[in-house]
Structures are given as structure tokens and as C-alpha cells.
Amino acid sequence: ALPLVALPLVVLPLVVAVAAAIVARRDRDPVRDRLEHVAAGERVADLGAAPGGWTWAAARRGARVWAVDNGPLKQGAAGHPAVEHVKADAFAWRPPVRADWLLCDIVDDPRHVLELLRHWCREHWCRRIVANFKYGRADPLALLAAVRGPRGLAPFTPELVCRHLFH
């Protein structure tokens, strides 16, 4: 079987729902670092896309993006020629073809988001993932253990990178 992930699968947990979080090492942003690997012509699925920050970052690099969110896109993502705004439930939407990247910034129970990511991995709908988990009321250590465990994302990738983002 072909390897599912060409680059490390990246799961970026957040304490709060802030996409532009500051990391413990304040000189680096691991989300931006990973998005720098998105190449022109690649296909990106951005689940929980609104208002469109990650969508715009991928489109700006030349990727074709499905921005999946019932909410409106704003600023650079809205009306961008490389962006298709799919007004749909991110948990129900399925890509018409395999994506190179899955970007996931859904505000929901992190266990539901983890199961969604596992589904994408099982179906081979993407090659790489960058995801934010919103802890909310979930225990962050238990969530990280679940993500890294055999019922999490570890079975789908030889390398799993997790970062705890906070502001």
C-alpha cells in the first residue's frame, strides 16, 4: 500500500478557538510553517473554513481550495478564483477527488473532530492533515493521548506532530 502521508501528519491542539495563536516558542507558528508546504496546483479541503484565513493562505500559494463551511468567507478568501466555497456541513461533506491537504479548524467536540479525521484517513481522502482541536471542556491530556493512540491518528502515519497552542 502507498503511504498515506508524505509529510508528517500534524495535529495542532488549541486551548481556545483562535486560529492565529501564539505558540510556546513565540518566534514560530506551526500552522503557518506547515501551510508553507502547500504547493501550487495542489488540492486543499478546508473544513470549518470561515472566515477563510487558512483558505486564503493555501489559495495564495497557488492551491485550489474547497472552503467547506456554512458561514461566510471574508477578506482574501471571498471571491478568490482558486476558492470554491462549499456551503455544507463539514462532517457530512465528501471530496469529489482526493485532496493533497485537509485543513481542519472545526469548532466542535474534539472527539467528533478526531473521528472525522480518522474517517478521512481510512477513506484515503487526503495525503496530509493540519488540524486544530478546540479543547473546550475536554481534558487536554486525555485528548492528546487519544489523538496519539491506536484509536486516534497514529495508525495512519509514521510521524505525528502535536503542538499545544495558546495565547
Residue 13, strand partner residues: 133
3-state helix, strand, coil in the chain (%, to 5): 25, 25, 50
* 134 is annotated as an active-site residue: yes
Pairing outcome for strands 43-47 and 22-23: unpaired
Q: What would you report as the CA-atom Rg of the chain, rounded to the nearest whole angstrom?
A: 15
CA separation for the pair 50, 48 (Å, rounded): 6
Catalytic residue among 34, 43, 128, 134: 134
Q: Which residues are designated catalytic?
A: 134
